[in-house]
Amino acid sequence: MTRIAVLIVTMFAAAAFAGNCPVQMKAIDEALPKAKLDTAQTAEVKKLRADGERFHKEGKHAESMAALGKAKKILGI
């Protein structure tokens, strides 16, 4: 019974984590036009945002969230 409970919790956690990637991408998309960044920072945010979306589509949600988190840090959000 414990194994089943762990499996269920893991499945729900993975689904929640996966569902959060698009929310983070939207936050970046909304903040980027208003951000006061230099050219290099803007390019880095765009690269990290693209990497995050690619990782999300590949099912690599931890990597996606890491990339998106770096982008958000640069944006200050």
**Tens-digit pLDDT profile for residues 27-55:** 999 999 999 999 999 999 999 999 999 99
Residues 28 and 63: their CA atoms lie apart, in Å, by: 16
Domain ranges of the chain: 2-75
3-state secondary structure 39-70: HHHHHHHHHHHHHHHHHHHCCCHHHHHHHHHH
Radius of gyration over alpha carbons of the chain, in Å? Answer: 15
Contact 35, 27 (CB under 8 A): no
Model's pTM, two decimal places?
0.77
pLDDT of residue 8: 52
